[in-house]
Amino acid sequence: MKQEYLGMVLPITITSIWWWSCLIRGVDASPQINLLNKGCSQYNATNLPEFYTNLNATFSDLKTQLNKNSTHFATAQQARGSDPVYPMVQCRNYLSAADCAACFAAAVSQIRNCSAANGARVIYDGCFLRYESAGFFDQTTLPGNVGLCGNNTASQATAFSAAAGKLLVDLQLATPKINGFFAATKNEVVSSGSGNETVYGVAQCAETISKTGCQDCLNVAYANLQSCLPDTDGRAVDAGCFLRYSSTSFFPDNQTTNIASFLKTGGNSRKKAIIIGVVVGGVRLLILIVGVFLYFKLSRKPEAARRGDILGATELQGPMNYKYKDLKSATKNFSEENKLGEGGFGDVYKGTLNNGKIVAVKKLAILQSDRAKANFVNEVKLISNVHHRNLIRLLGCCSKGPELLLIYEYMANNSLDRFIFGPKRGSLNWKQLNDIILGTARGLAYLHEEFHVCIIHRDIKTSNILLDDSFQPKIADFGLARLLPDDQTHLSTRFAGTLGYTAPEYAIHGQLSEKVDT
Ligand SMILES: *[C@@H]1O[C@H](CO)[C@@H](O)[C@H](O)[C@H]1NC(C)=O
Ligand SMILES: *[C@@H]1O[C@H](CO)[C@@H](O)[C@H](O)[C@H]1NC(C)=O
Ligand SMILES: *[C@@H]1O[C@H](CO)[C@@H](O)[C@H](O)[C@H]1NC(C)=O
C-alpha cells in the first residue's frame, strides 16, 4: 500500500505529510528491502500449471497469516500433486505489520524471477522468503552460510570491536532462550575519543527449529561475523538464523529487548561458585583445570563451512566423500572374497568401515574423462538426495582415487533374483512377494513422479531389487544411467539395460519414458 502511495506523491494532503514525517524519522517505517542473498534451484518443477497454482496458494496463505495475526513468521504447504510447495517467511520482529507485509510483497515479486524453479530464496535485511519442494522447516545451519561485511571501518577500531564483540556474544547466548527466538539490543562503545558511539544488533532464528538448533546456527553466524570486525556493519545469513550488527540504529528504540535476564548463568554454576569459595587450593585448581578444558572443548568453532555453495535444500546437499585408502582397506583391497556381485555398472564389494559400519562399495566401470568426472559429482549429488524407503540409500562417493566409487547402504538379504531363480528359490511366501511388488512400485513411482527430477531407472530386474532384513525391497542402481554419455545410453545394453528386460522401443529406437520401467 505504501509503495502505491509513494507512486502518487503530488497531492500533498494532511495524511501524506504525516506519512512523510514518519518516513523521514528513519528506521521506524521501512520494510528494509536491501537484498542480501538470493538463489533459484537449478531444477524446474515438472507440471507447471500445478506448480504455479500451488505456489500462488501458499503465498496467499502466508500473506493471510501475516495479516491476520500480525505475526512475523509463517509457513505453509501445498503438498498435493507432483509439484509440492513448502514456503517459509520471516520478518525481523522490529518491523511493523505494514512494513512486514511490504517486505513480504517485495520478496514475492523478487522470488518470482526464479520462474519455474522448484525451490528459491530471497533474504533481505527486513525479511526472508524461501520455498522448496519438500519440508525444510527444521534446517539450522547449511553450507553456504556466510558473513557479509560492510565497507567502512569504525573510527575507534579497538573500542568498537570490543563493544560489537560483546554485543554479538550476548545475542548469541540469549536469543535461543527467548520465546520466539528474537532479540534486538545495543551496546555503548567506550572509547577515549569524543562522542559516544553505539553499536546495535539483532539475532533471530526460524521459529520452527529447536533451541539447540537456534544455538548451533547462531554459533556459526557469530563465527562468520568475527572477520567483519572492526567494520561498522556485518550480517550473517544462514538457513535457520540471521545475525546483524551495525553502528547505525536500524530498529526503533522501543523494540529493544531486555536480554540481561537471559544472560545470567544457571543455578548450576552458582553452586560451583559456592564450592570454589569454600574449598581450598588444590580443589580450586582442579576445578579450574576442568573448567579450562571444558571451555576449550565447548568453544571450539564449528567446522568451517564450505564457501561458494549457496544456501538451501534448493541447492542439494553434497554427498559424503570417502577416502580411497579407507575403502580399499574396508574391502580388503577389493578382494574376491568380499565381492557381492557384478552389476551392469561395475562390481560391488562388501566393506567394513573403520567405525564398524558395513557398506556396499560399487566400482564404476565407466569412462573417466574430466567431463565424466564433473558429471559424476553432479549426478552423485542428485542421487544422494533421493530418500525413500524402497530405494537404496547412496551414502557417498569417492572420485579422488584411481577409480570412481559409490558407497551404498548394505542389504543383508542380497537381491531378489536369489529368491526367484537362485539357491533360495521358493522360500518367499505370498505375503512377502506381494510386499516386494508393492514396495518396488512405490519406489519407482517416487523416482518417476515425486522426486524433483524424473529419474528413469532403465534396468529394473530382480538383481536390482535388494532385500533388507525384513525382506522389504529396495531398488538399486537408479540414476546411474544418467552418468553415461547420451549417445551410449540406448546403444549399449551392457550399460543401460539388460537384454530381455529392456522395453523394445527403448532398446531398438532409444525412446525413453517412464514406461520403460513399467
Ligand atoms: C499466480 O500469480 C501470478 C501473479 O499474481 C499470476 O500472474 C499467475 O497467473 C498465477 N498463476 C496461477 C496458476 O494462478
Ligand atoms: C526480479 O524482480 C525484481 C523485483 O520485482 C525486479 O526489480 C528485477 O528487475 C527482476 N529481475 C532480475 C533479473 O532480478
Ligand atoms: C514504538 O514507537 C513508535 C513510534 O516511534 C510507535 O508508533 C509504536 O507504537 C511504539 N511501539 C511500542 C511497542 O511501544
Would you place residue 45 in the very low, low, confident or very high pLDDT band (cuts 50, 70, 90)? confident
pLDDT at 249: 95
Distance 421 CA to ligand 3 centre (A): 77
**What is the dotted CATH code of the domain comprising 153-302?**
3.30.430.20
Closest ligand 1 atom, residue 53 Cα: 13
Please tell me the distance from the alpha carbon of residue 84 to that of residue 313, in angstroms, as a whole number.
Answer: 14
More confident residue, 304 or 335: 335
Q: Give catalytic residue positions.
A: 459
pTM for this model (two decimals): 0.58
Decide: 129 and 63 in contact? Cβ < 8 Å.
no
Residue of 56, 80, 131 with the most ligand 1 atoms within 8 Å of its CB, for mutation: 56
Distance 11 CA to ligand 2 centre (A): 29
Gyration radius (Cα) of the chain, Å: 28
Closest C-alpha residue for ligand 3 atom 8: 254
* In the predicted structure, residue 490 carries a pLDDT above the cut 50: no
CATH class of 320-517: mainly alpha
Q: Which three cell numbers stand for residue 317?
A: 546437499
Closest C-alpha residue for ligand 1 atom 9: 52
Q: Please work out whether the CB of residue 252 comes within 6 Å of at least one atom of ligand 3.
A: yes
Distance 407 CA to ligand 2 centre (A): 42
Q: Please work out whether the CB of residue 109 comes within 6 Å of at least one atom of ligand 2.
A: yes
Decide: 343 and 362 in contact? Cβ < 8 Å.
yes
CATH class of 31-132: alpha beta
Report helix, strand or coil for 298: helix
Closest C-alpha residue for ligand 3 atom 7: 28
More confident residue, 388 or 13: 388
Distance 104 CA to ligand 2 centre (A): 15
More confident residue, 219 or 307: 219
Please tell me the distance from the alpha carbon of residue 332 to that of residue 334, in angstroms, as a whole number.
Answer: 5
Give the residue from 344, 352, 346 showing the smallest Cα distance to 328: 352
Residue of 112, 113, 129 with the most ligand 2 atoms within 8 Å of its CB, for mutation: 113
Closest C-alpha residue for ligand 1 atom 2: 56
Q: Please work out whether the CB of residue 98 comes within 6 Å of at least one atom of ligand 3.
A: no
Please tell me the distance from the alpha carbon of residue 492 to that of residue 484, in angstroms, as a whole number.
Answer: 10
Closest C-alpha residue for ligand 1 atom 1: 56
* In the predicted structure, residue 486 carries a pLDDT above the cut 80: no
- Beta strand pairing call for 394-398 and 320-321: parallel
pLDDT at 316: 52
pLDDT at 264: 79
- Name residues whose C-beta falls within 8 Å of residue 310's C-beta, 6 or more positions apart in sequence: 37, 39, 144
Residues lining ligand 1, CB < 6 A? 52-53, 56
Closest ligand 2 atom, residue 110 Cα: 2
Q: Which whole number is the average pLDDT over 281-304?
A: 45
Per residue in 210-241, pLDDT tens?
999 999 999 999 999 999 999 999 999 999 99
What are the residue ranges spanned by the domains of the chain?
Answer: 31-132, 153-302, 320-517
Give the residue from 291, 113, 257, 264 showing the smallest Cα distance to 185: 257
Query: Can 31-132 and 153-302 be said to share one CATH topology?
Result: yes
385-389, long-range: CB within 8 Å, 24+ apart, which pairs?
A: 385/316, 385/317, 386/446, 386/447, 386/451, 386/455, 386/478, 386/479, 388/442, 388/443, 388/446, 388/447, 388/450, 388/451, 389/439, 389/472, 389/474
Per residue in 47-86, pLDDT tens?
899 999 999 999 999 999 999 878 999 999 887 777 889 9
Decide: 420 and 462 in contact? Cβ < 8 Å.
yes
Report helix, strand or coil for 494: coil
